[in-house]
Structure 1
């Protein structure tokens, strides 16, 4: 299998089987596309030549402004619409041809849940579970109860769905996706309509699912949401993929030196602090009054000039300063945000629809 895709304007093209080929065994990609395209009447391309590679076990943020093609991409991945060109594989098998084999292993919440308003939340889940040919009816009630509890709807399970708020409906749709264990969970704007507490709970649930080995593919236009919970991300605008890779390295990869974490130490011992930081591999060290600043390489990059055993973590840098007798009055590091990455790639504010 290929190496993990590097972030940047030219992402690695993952291999995709030819039509009719024998399905490949499960590899390192949960989702992979090659040249995936969807064009509508008049030649407008909602998705244009998408090369995407989502590692198994990751929480992958699919990032872009509303209208940029995220939902269209997801609908193609799940076989809900046919691509105009290109190919896609989900859980190692070609889509949509392998949909009957793949979709039972996938949970999805796309563009909000389709609910029966006259049924209670509990009865909606019972109906969804009954439609699953692989679901054992003898354990249905236990599955429904667990799903309601996981999304915080146990107390409102008996209420009619038409009386649910937008956030409650979103939770119920997520519960439907979680009725059975899934290898892949696809969530399209999962925190839409949720209050801050609800958003926090959904983020905690996503982390829990990832810890259990589920790959989570999360589409969102909320940069803060992606930064908080995702291990990997892709940035999309106007139907095109701009970059993809580990979240921790995107800013440094796209922005270069401007994307490295900037370390600031406040101390009366500026000369000693500068010396220690340089010995620990911090670059571009400068002294201004009682502050010493410098740049940290990205987390996955070697620190040029460091000796074996030199500190690599920010907390260890602080400890090294204290160990050297430097009086540290203030210490902090800030890395360029995903918003900085997006603006650098597109020249736009993030709330602009593509």
Structure 2
């Protein structure tokens, strides 16, 4: 087993050890249905891991247990190879987090908020504080608003400032709970770019969201939660490929097209005006197109669309949730 170099006195991280791992992790409030029920999660090192589910599915409760903010009712959570919350003092200095929105001092400027937060970190070097604060503000696009009081910030600007706080020092793991909440489309694109850059630099990013499109664009791995339970986990590509895409044929000869497509193994056919759609078959699409032409089907358009993360979620649950935000 290969091992990464370690700082003096610190635990030696195992390269192929999961950054987050849980076994039967459960949180119950009162006698009702558990908020998190028997969660078994594995987050690979170096991944951008999307934690996906509708609001109320248990994502934030899980994150609060992982960060040691609340105790689990039962089960085990390990972060960076250490048990949580017992090893919180060793683990949390290696983790940056933005959970449930940032807690800010409204009477302080954005820059002074970061200075205050950095000053409270015993591991932070005061000699590099000003430079690190400036760099963090610049990375999240707040350099020009650094002197403005935080109470005058919009929701999106507050989200950016909270993310800047998580970036004040290099982290092995970055945990983000709905990081694009309140951001306009441009801000969302900027945060996605930042997440990709952090991952390219070796930081594992654990990204909780209820936005399928956001997860699909930026993440390498994904877990899907619903009503406190884990439905599936794996690579984004693997989850999407578990569901077949859709074939689309535009033609005035829809009846004949349906006949040919059925003969060539296309299922779940739907006719809408001059368009026939169906589940992608296993065979070569060029051969299917040729079969339509041989049958004198006038093909005006022929194409295929791969299955999306939304398609996979609907296949798993029979329902959808907020895709566009």
Q: Distance in 2 between matches of 1:43 and 1:292?
A: 44
Would the aligned equivalents of 2:212 and 2:322 in 1 still touch at CA under 8 Å?
A: no
Partner of 1:78 in structure 2?
Answer: 67
Aligned length: 285
Give the gaps of 5 or more residues in structure 1.
2-21, 254-258, 267-282, 298-304, 307-313, 322-328
Would the aligned equivalents of 1:23 and 1:92 in 2 still touch at CA under 8 Å?
A: no
Residues 19-39 of structure 1: CA distance to partner in whole angstroms, max 9, x if unpaired? xxx998453311110000000
Q: Distance in 2 between matches of 1:62 and 1:26?
A: 22
Match for 1:335 among 306, 309, 312?
306
Q: TM-score, normalised by structure 2?
A: 0.79
Quick one: structure 1 residues 129 and 296, their matched pair in 2 at CA, closer, same or farther if it must change by over 3 Å? Answer: farther
Q: Distance in 2 between matches of 1:191 and 1:183?
A: 21
Match for 1:113 among 90, 102, 112?
102
Quick one: structure 1 residues 337 and 38, their matched pair in 2 at CA, closer, same or farther if it must change by over 3 Å? Answer: same
Match for 2:172 among 164, 183, 203?
183
Shift of residue 185, structure 1, vs aligned partner:
0.5
Would the aligned equivalents of 2:60 and 2:177 in 1 still touch at CA under 8 Å?
A: yes
Matched, 1:52 2:41: yes
Would the aligned equivalents of 2:26 and 2:73 in 1 still touch at CA under 8 Å?
A: yes
Would the aligned equivalents of 2:26 and 2:38 in 1 still touch at CA under 8 Å?
A: yes
Q: Distance in 2 between matches of 1:64 and 1:264?
A: 30
Q: TM-score, normalised by structure 1?
A: 0.73
Quick one: structure 1 residues 293 and 41, their matched pair in 2 at CA, closer, same or farther if it must change by over 3 Å? Answer: closer
RMSD: 3.0
Matched, 1:65 2:50: no
Residues 29-67 of structure 1: CA distance to partner in whole angstroms, max 9, x if unpaired? 111100000001124310000000111111111000001
Partner of 1:269 in structure 2?
Answer: none
Residue correspondence of structure 1 range 142-291 to structure 2 within 5 A: 142-253=131-242, 259-262=243-246
Match of 1:29, SS state, is coil
Q: Distance in 1 between matches of 2:215 and 2:105?
A: 31
Partner of 2:78 in structure 1?
Answer: 89
Quick one: structure 1 residues 75 and 294, their matched pair in 2 at CA, closer, same or farther if it must change by over 3 Å? Answer: closer
Quick one: structure 1 residues 200 and 96, their matched pair in 2 at CA, closer, same or farther if it must change by over 3 Å? Answer: same
Shift of residue 94, structure 1, vs aligned partner:
1.1
Shift of residue 332, structure 1, vs aligned partner:
4.8
Quick one: structure 1 residues 39 and 285, their matched pair in 2 at CA, closer, same or farther if it must change by over 3 Å? Answer: closer
Quick one: structure 1 residues 91 and 26, their matched pair in 2 at CA, closer, same or farther if it must change by over 3 Å? Answer: farther
Shift of residue 264, structure 1, vs aligned partner:
6.3
Shift of residue 296, structure 1, vs aligned partner:
7.6
Give the gaps of 5 or more residues in structure 2.
2-10, 251-263, 268-273, 291-299
Q: Distance in 1 between matches of 2:208 and 2:315?
A: 21
